[in-house]
Amino acid sequence: MEVQADDARAPLLAQALNRVHGQDDLNKEAALVKDQLAAMSTEEVAAILPDSRSRR
Residue 38 lies in a domain: yes
Nearest to 44 by CA among 11, 1, 3, 2: 11
Q: Residue 20 sits in which domain range?
A: 10-54
Residue 28 lies in a domain: yes
Question: How many domains does the chain divide into?
Answer: 1
Distance (Å, rounded) from C-alpha 43 to C-alpha 41? 5
Q: Name the pLDDT band for 10 (thresholds 50, 70, 90).
A: confident
Residue 3 lies in a domain: no
Residue 2 lies in a domain: no
Residue 34 lies in a domain: yes
- What lies within 8 Å, CB to CB, of 15 at 6+ separation is 29, 32, 49
Residue 23 lies in a domain: yes
Q: What is the pTM of this model?
A: 0.54
Task: Dump pLDDT digits (tens) for 14-54.
Answer: 777 776 666 777 888 888 888 888 988 999 888 877 665 45
Residue 5 lies in a domain: no
Q: Environment class of residue 1 by beta-carbon count within 10 Å: exposed (0-12), middle (13-18) or buried (19+)?
A: exposed
Residue 4 lies in a domain: no
